[in-house]
């Protein structure tokens, strides 16, 4: 109960709207479920091998999906809007605009980004970050990524709007 209450309060701290309360409560339930799951399943699962890899992969996908779901409430202006968005997501079919060229480009970009992140995770420990050249190259890549993918013409940072 205390864990859920802390997250509900943190939701209220983000804004005085029911959407933020729901966002906080969802995080509290997610965390409570993780604590219960880890206390039950952690001793039974091997740390290495295919089962461990599948378990970790499932955890990553589940965490991303649940947190993304919670963000619907955080960014919605009202509970009704959030449920309307969830209803739209649940009613998506392949006959919708999922296969248009624009969405194909978005899908290709998403897949490329996922492959890049997987490669980064795999090779991260082998990169010599103490080398000046490597550090300069990584910093340059970071700055270029910010300029290429950054959004500079949008509204103010969300916390400046209060």
Confidence of residue 91 (pLDDT cuts 50, 70, 90): confident
Q: Looking at per-residue confidence, does 144 or 132 come out higher?
A: 144
b/e 115-150 (16+ beta carbons within 10 angstroms → b): eeeeeeeeeeeeeeeeeeeeeeeeeeeeeeeeeeee
Confidence of residue 58 (pLDDT cuts 50, 70, 90): confident
Indicate yes or no: pTM above 0.75: no
Tokens of 41: 């399943």
Q: Looking at per-residue confidence, does 27 or 150 come out higher?
A: 27
Do 98 and 104 meet the contact criterion of CB atoms below 8 Å apart? no
Do 8 and 21 meet the contact criterion of CB atoms below 8 Å apart? yes
The conformation of residue 130, written as its DSSP 8-state character, comes to T
Cite the beta strand spans of the chain per DSSP E.
none
Of the segments 9-23, 36-50, 64-78, 106-120, which one has the largest average pLDDT value?
Answer: 64-78
Distances (CA, A) of 96 to 117, 131, 148: 29, 50, 30
Count CA atoms closer than 13 A to 68's CA, side-chain side: 9
Active site residues: 14
Please name which of 147, 128, 150 lies closest in space to residue 137, comparing C-alpha atoms. Answer: 128
Confidence of residue 96 (pLDDT cuts 50, 70, 90): low
Do 108 and 116 meet the contact criterion of CB atoms below 8 Å apart? no
How large is the greatest C-alpha to C-alpha distance in the chain, in angstroms? 53
Please name which of 52, 54, 30, 31 lies closest in space to residue 42, comparing C-alpha atoms. Answer: 52
Q: Is the pLDDT of residue 44 over 70?
A: no
Region of 49 on the Ramachandran plot (φ > 0 left; ψ -120 to 50 alpha; else beta): left
């Amino acid at each position: 109960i205390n864990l859920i209450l802390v997250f509900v309060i943190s939701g209220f701290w983000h804004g005085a709207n029911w959407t933020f309360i729901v966002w906080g409560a969802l995080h509290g339930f997610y965390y409570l479920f993780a604590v219960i799951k880890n206390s039950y399943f952690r001793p039974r699962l091997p740390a290495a091998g295919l089962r461990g890899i599948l378990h970790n992969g499932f955890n990553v996908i589940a965490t991303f999906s649940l947190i993304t779901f919670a963000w619907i409430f955080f960014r919605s202006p009202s509970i009704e809007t959030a449920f309307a968005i969830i209803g739209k997501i649940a009613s998506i079919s392949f006959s919708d605009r999922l296969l248009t060229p624009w969405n194909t480009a978005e899908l290709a970009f998403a897949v490329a980004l996922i492959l890049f992140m997987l490669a980064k995770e795999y090779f991260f420990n082998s990169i010599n970050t103490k080398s000046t050249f490597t550090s300069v190259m990584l910093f340059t890549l970071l700055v270029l990524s910010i300029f290429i993918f950054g959004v500079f013409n949008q509204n103010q940072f969300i916390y400046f709007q209060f």
